[in-house]
Amino acid sequence: MTDTATWPGPAHAAMTPVPYQVRSRVVENQDSSTLQLEPLRDPLQAPLPGEFMMMYAFGIGEVAISVSGVPSGSDSTITHTIRSVGAVSRALHDAEPGTVIGMRGPFGTNWGLREAVGRDLVIVAGGVGLAPLRPVVLGALAARDSYGSVTLIAGARSRDDFLFSEELAEWARDTSIAVHMTVDVPVQGWPGEVGFVTEPLRRLPLRPQNTTALLCGPEPMMQNGAIELLRKGLAASDIRVSLERNMQCGIGWCGHCQLGPLLLCRDGPVVGYDAAEPLLAVKEL
């Protein structure tokens, strides 16, 4: 499907994929790539950091993916980083420049960067969880004076598993952001830390009343990270996590993404830990 002439307009507008074309593709690691997509017709509304799009691989299916880039100025491209874990995400991950991808969105809640203005930011990412948080880092760096201290703690299985390696190296050199990188499996010469993201988090001095923490990664990582932050005196409502469930519509029709009282496509994916904590504590909720 590369001929946009046959891509029809909206019938059920909110469920109709809008054609975008892959402008560039960057391989991040062994299973993830970053696509920059440009609209072939009228662009969709620009997604805010934390929001997600429904991405459609022609004839294969659709998945919910949080945005991993920020649009600048008149640029109407949307950037996503996709980890290949199933048929649809594999097709998206493999999409070469020129491929037409169907897009719907943006949907869901955002990281609340505006509400965090004037506060310290602690950003905690595990694995591909760094992708939804990248727009936060970029946004904070672009408006550096709007925030207090900015700390990024990024974990990955090994050195080669980090997303955005070059940017991470850049941020590590940037004195306006403190970067801690930690891996599960070190190789010789690894200059960073070894272990879970909770370790650097535990040592981190922070001002609990004036800190907003944003976490994305596997659920146990977010739970353990949040426990550490609560122990340091952060209010649960100042800890925000991005949650993942099966999403098929993105707009509250299909019912798949429920987590207790939450419809995560509507009330999430970014949720305050005050709401998330009691729900994540229940197995198979």
Which residues lie near another protein (CB under 8 A)?
Answer: 1, 6-9, 11-17, 56, 58-62, 85-86, 89, 244-246, 248-249, 251-256, 258, 260-263, 266, 282-285
Helix (H) or strand (E) holding 199: helix 198-203
- Identity of the amino acid at 116: A
CB contact set of 231 (below 8 Å; sequence gap of 6+): none
Which residue, 36, 47, 1, 40, is CA-closest to 19? 40
Of the pair 127, 139, the CB lying nearest another protein is at 127
Of the pair 204, 275, the CB lying nearest another protein is at 275
User: Closest separation between CB of residue 252 and another protein, Å?
Assistant: 5
User: Closest separation between CB of residue 259 and another protein, Å?
Assistant: 8
Which residue, 275, 279, 269, 159, is CA-closest to 217? 269
**Residue where the block lists tokens 């920059």:** 36
User: Closest separation between CB of residue 106 and another protein, Å?
Assistant: 12
User: Closest separation between CB of residue 92 and another protein, Å?
Assistant: 13
User: Closest separation between CB of residue 231 and another protein, Å?
Assistant: 24
Q: How far apart are CA 272 and CA 269, in angstroms?
A: 10
Of the pair 8, 189, the CB lying nearest another protein is at 8
- Per DSSP, what are the bridge partners of residue 83? 32
**Residue where the block lists tokens 């672009």:** 142
Q: What angle do CA 27, 52, 19 make, to 5 degrees?
A: 75
Count the neighbouring beta carbons within 10 Å of the beta carbon of residue 44: 16
User: Closest separation between CB of residue 31 and another protein, Å?
Assistant: 11
User: Closest separation between CB of residue 219 and another protein, Å?
Assistant: 9
DSSP character string of 232-243: TT--GGGEEEE-
Of the pair 201, 249, the CB lying nearest another protein is at 249
ω into residue 106 within 30 of 0, thus cis?
A: yes
Of the pair 65, 213, the CB lying nearest another protein is at 65
DSSP character string of 107-138: ES----TTTTTTSEEEEEEEGGGHHHHHHHHH
Of the pair 17, 200, the CB lying nearest another protein is at 17
Of the pair 13, 187, the CB lying nearest another protein is at 13
Which residue, 220, 172, 177, is CA-closest to 192? 172
